[in-house]
Structure 1
Amino acid sequence: MANDIAVATPSLWTSICCDDSITTAAHLDIWLRRARTQPLCISLHGDLSRDVAIAVRRHGYHLQILKLQSSYQLEQMDPTSFLSLTKLTVVNATVKNTHLPECLYIFYFTPALVECDFTSVSGDTLVSLWKPTPFAHLSLRCLQLGDAKSKNAALLLKYLTLPALEILHVSDSDQLMPNHLASLLTRSLPPLQLLHVQGLTGRFDDLDEPLRLVPTLTDLTLKFREGIDPVSALKQSVLTPHLGFLPNLRNVHIHANFSLNVNYDVVVSALAARGAALRSFEVFSPFRKPDHHIIATLKEFAGDHGTHIYVGSRKHNYIPPNSRE
C-alpha cells in the first residue's frame, strides 16, 4: 500500500542522488519516469556508466538542478535539452578540469541558468588558439569559476556578457589577469553585489575604472599571490576611495602572504574615508605587528563605528574585538 502510494506520487521522485555503488541506468530511468513532468534535481557521483548519462539526458527537458562530480559526466550528456536548467555544479573532485570550451558550450544551451559553479577549470596550452564568438547570457546571476588549482579560468570572462550577474567568484592558480575581469564588467554593466577574486598580482590598476561601473557592489574579497604587498597594490583604488568609487561597499576581505612592513597609515585612511558605512574590514597576512598608535586608532574606529576589523595572520588578530585599550 505504502509502496503504491509512493510510486504514484511524482513529487517523491524529483530529487535523486546517484552513485556507482547502487545506481544503474535502468533504475534511474524508472525513478525519473515516476517524477513525470515535475522539475528534477539530480546529483551524480562516482564512476557512472554512459547509460546513466543518457538516462539523465532523456529527461533533460524538465531538469532544473544538476550536480556532477566530473566534467566527463557532462561530456556524456547532450545539454541541448536542458532548457529548464537553473543551477549547475561541476565539482571535478578526482578527475580532469573542465576546459573553457566546455563551459561556454553549456551556456549556449541553458537560457534559464541562474547559478553556475565550475569548481575546477583549465585553459590548456592551446587556449591561445581558442577564439569563440562572444556570448551574452541574460539570466545568469551567480557564477563561480575556478579554484586554487585552476589555470587561465578568467579567460572565459573575455567571451561572456552577463548583464544580470550579482555574484562572481573567479580563482586562478596562475596569475589572474585583471583585464579579463575588466572586459566582463565593462561589457555587462551588471548589478554586481559580491565579487571574490583569487590569484591577483600587484597589477590592480586595470580594475580601477571597471569597478566604477558596478556601484552596487557591497562585498569585495581579494586574494593576492605570494609576495605581493596588498596595501601597496590597493593604495590608489580600494584603499583610497575617490568620490563615487564603490559607494555601497560594506565588507572588504583581503588575503595575502606578505610578511614585510606595510603602510598602515593607508589602512587607517581607508577606514576613515569609508566611515560607519563599512561593516567589516579584514586583512589576512603575516604582517609585522603595527605600531602601538596604529593599533589604538583601529580599535577606536571599531568601537566608535561598530565595524569588525581584523588585521594579522589567520591565527592572530592585532585588533581584537570588544576592546579599546
Structure 2
Amino acid sequence: MSAQQLRTRIEELSSEIALQKRLLKKLQQDKSVALGQLNAVMDPVARLPLEISSEIFLQCLVPNCTPTQGDPSPRPMAGARHLPMLLLNVSNAWRFIAISTPALWSAMQIAFPCAQRLTRLLPIWFQRARTRPLSILLRGELVNFLKDPIFTTIWRHGGQIEHLEIRDDESDDEHNSSVIEIFGYGTTLYPLPLLKTLIIGTWNRQDRVFCGPEIIQLLRLSPNIVECFFGGMEFSCMLPPVATKKLVLRTLRRLTFGDPTCRPENNDVLDCLTLPALEALHAAAGDELLGLLKRSSPPLQELCVGVKDYPCSLMQECLQIIPTLVRFTIWEGSEHMTELFAALTNSSSLLPNLRSLTIHARSRDIPDSAWRTLLRAVLSRRIQLRILDVKVPPAEVLAAFREAIVDGAEVYIGTEECNFMNSPSLN
C-alpha cells in the first residue's frame, strides 16, 4: 500500500475508535441509569414517601442530651466522614433524600483545630439546612479560635442559631494559661434572636478563662435566651462595674454555674444581670446572689447553692425573697442547719411552698440539736428530705425518721450507696 493509502486507513481506524468510545460511554451511562433504577426498585428506603425516609435518616443521628431535661437534640459532625455526608454517597436516591431533609443539616459539631476544607464545606452545610433553626457545638482547642475563618461564617448565620455550645475541652498541657475570646477584633456581631440554650465552659483545663465582657455581650445579643450553663470556668477582663446598668434577660428561666450534679461554681456574672423570669438557679451563695434576688424578685422554684463560709443570716435573707421556692438544695452547709431548720419549723412564712430539701453535708457533722429540729420541720412541713455524705444521726432521731416514713414521709439519709433508713444494722 502506498503512503497515502496508509494515511487514509489510519484516519478510518481513528474514526472507528472514536465512534466505539462514544458508544462505550453511552453504554456505561445506560448501565449506570439501569443500576440506579435497579437500586430504586430494590431499595426499600427509596420506595418510601419522602417524609418517612427523611425521618429514618434523622433517627440515625446520635442524640445529644443537654444538662437540663435530657431532651435529645441531634448533633452530627460537620465533616466529610460524618453521617449526612456519608448518606450522600450511598446512591442517587439516598442523596436526593439527604439533600431534601433540611433537619439533617441543622446540627453540627466542629472540633478545633479543624481541616481547611471545612471552610468550603460549612457554607454548603448551612445552605442545605435552609431556614431550619441550628444547633452548633464548638469544641477542642479554642484559644486559637480567632485565627479560623470558620468562626466568621458561623456568626454570619447567628440569626438561625437556636442551641449554641462552646466547650474548651483540650487536655494538652503544652499551652500556657490563656484567655478564650469569643469575638475577635473587628468581628461583625449579629443578633441571635432564636437562641434558646447557651452552654459555655472549660473541661480538662484549670488555666483557661473566658473574657467576661464578651459573655455579657453574647447574652445581650440573645433576647430570647431560656437556658444558660457555665461550666468549670472563670472570667477575665472582669465584668463591668457593679454600678453600671444591669442587663435584663426577661426570658431566661434556668441558669447553672458548674456541673448540675456537683457544688455550684463561680457566679460573678450575676452582678451584671437582672432575671425577672428565673425559675431554676444553680449558683454559689454570696453577695452576687443576694443582689440578684433583690432586684429581680424572680418566681424561683428550684435553687441549688453552695453555702460554705456564707453567713446564715444572709442565706435566710435570700430565702425570704423567694417564697415560690419548691426544691432547695444545699452544698456544704452543715453549719447552717440548726438556724435554718429552726426557721423552717417556727416560721410558716419562710419558704411556704417548699416540698423538697436536699443537703450535701460532705461528711461534716450535723449537731444533734439540728437533727431534732430537722425532724420537727419534716413532720410539720411534710418535706421530701435527702441528706447525703453525712454521718449516722443519733439513734432516737433515726428511729423517729423511720416512723415518719411509715406514716408516708419521704426521707433518704446516708450516702449515694446506702440509705441509713433501710439499714437494719443501724438500730
Q: What TM-score bracket applies, with the shorter chain setting the length?
A: 0.7 to 0.9
Aligned equivalent of 2:257, options 136, 141, 145: 145
**Per-residue deviation at 1:83?**
2.3
**Per-residue deviation at 1:295?**
1.0
Identity of aligned residues (%): 27
**Cα pair distance change 1:126/1:47, threshold 3 Å:** closer
Superposed CA deviations along residues 158-192 of structure 1, whole A, max 9, x for unmatched, are 22110111111114xxxx42x32111111111111
**Per-residue deviation at 1:79?**
5.1
| Structure-2 residue corresponding to 1:53 | 151
Greater mean alpha carbon deviation, residues 28-37 or residues 74-83: 74-83
Tell me, in whole angstroms, the C-alpha distance in 2 between the residues paired with 1:149 and 1:285: 13
Contact 2:210 2:236 in 1 (8 A): no
Write 1 or 2 for the structure with the bigger share of helix: 2
Contact 1:6 1:12 in 2 (8 A): yes
Contact 1:229 1:256 in 2 (8 A): no
Q: Which amino acid aligns with 2:338?
A: S
| Structure-2 residue corresponding to 1:273 | 380
Secondary structure of the residue that 2:278 maps to in structure 1?
A: coil
Map 1:12-51 to 2 at 5 A. 12-20=104-112, 24-47=118-141, 50-51=148-149
Contact 2:389 2:414 in 1 (8 A): yes
Secondary structure of the residue that 2:331 maps to in structure 1?
A: strand
**Cα pair distance change 1:130/1:34, threshold 3 Å:** same
| Structure-2 residue corresponding to 1:299 | 402
Q: Which amino acid aligns with 2:420?
A: Y
| Structure-1 residue corresponding to 2:193 | 83
Q: Which amino acid aligns with 2:412?
A: Y
Superposed CA deviations along residues 55-109 of structure 1, whole A, max 9, x for unmatched, are 2111111111111113837335765332221111113114513343333222211
Superposed CA deviations along residues 37-59 of structure 1, whole A, max 9, x for unmatched, are 21111112223762221121111
Contact 1:139 1:164 in 2 (8 A): yes
Aligned residues: 311
Tell me, in whole angstroms, the C-alpha distance in 2 between the residues paired with 1:301 and 1:130: 48
Tell me, in whole angstroms, the C-alpha distance in 1 between the residues paired with 2:196 and 2:103: 18
Greater mean alpha carbon deviation, residues 253-262 or residues 85-94: 253-262
Query: How high is the TM-score relative to the length of structure 2?
Result: 0.65
Map 1:89-238 to 2 at 5 A. 89-95=199-205, 96-123=208-235, 132-146=244-258, 153-171=266-284, 176-177=285-286, 179-224=287-332, 228-232=334-338, 234-237=340-343
Tell me, in whole angstroms, the C-alpha distance in 2 between the residues paired with 1:323 and 1:303: 18
**Cα pair distance change 1:149/1:105, threshold 3 Å:** farther
Tell me, in whole angstroms, the C-alpha distance in 2 between the residues paired with 1:97 and 1:58: 25
Structure of greater Rg: 2
Contact 1:164 1:191 in 2 (8 A): yes
Secondary structure of the residue that 1:116 maps to in structure 2?
A: strand
**Per-residue deviation at 1:119?**
1.0
Secondary structure of the residue that 1:45 maps to in structure 2?
A: strand
User: Which consecutive residues of structure 2, in runs of 5 or more, have no partner in the other structure?
Assistant: 1-91, 169-178
Contact 1:229 1:258 in 2 (8 A): no
Secondary structure of the residue that 1:24 maps to in structure 2?
A: helix
Tell me, in whole angstroms, the C-alpha distance in 1 between the residues paired with 2:276 and 2:424: 41
Tell me, in whole angstroms, the C-alpha distance in 2 between the residues paired with 1:186 and 1:82: 28
Contact 1:201 1:224 in 2 (8 A): no
Q: Which amino acid aligns with 1:296?
A: A
Greater mean alpha carbon deviation, residues 110-119 or residues 37-46: 37-46
Tell me, in whole angstroms, the C-alpha distance in 2 between the residues paired with 1:199 and 1:205: 11
Tell me, in whole angstroms, the C-alpha distance in 2 between the residues paired with 1:241 and 1:26: 67
Contact 1:68 1:74 in 2 (8 A): no
Contact 2:325 2:351 in 1 (8 A): yes
Tell me, in whole angstroms, the C-alpha distance in 2 between the residues paired with 1:161 and 1:66: 22
Query: How high is the TM-score relative to the length of structure 1?
Result: 0.83
| Structure-2 residue corresponding to 1:311 | 413
**Per-residue deviation at 1:318?**
2.3
Superposed CA deviations along residues 209-261 of structure 1, whole A, max 9, x for unmatched, are 33223222111111027xx5342353444x43512221211111111235445
Pick 1 or 2: higher relative contact order, CA cutoff 8 A, min separation 6. 1
| Structure-2 residue corresponding to 1:262 | 367
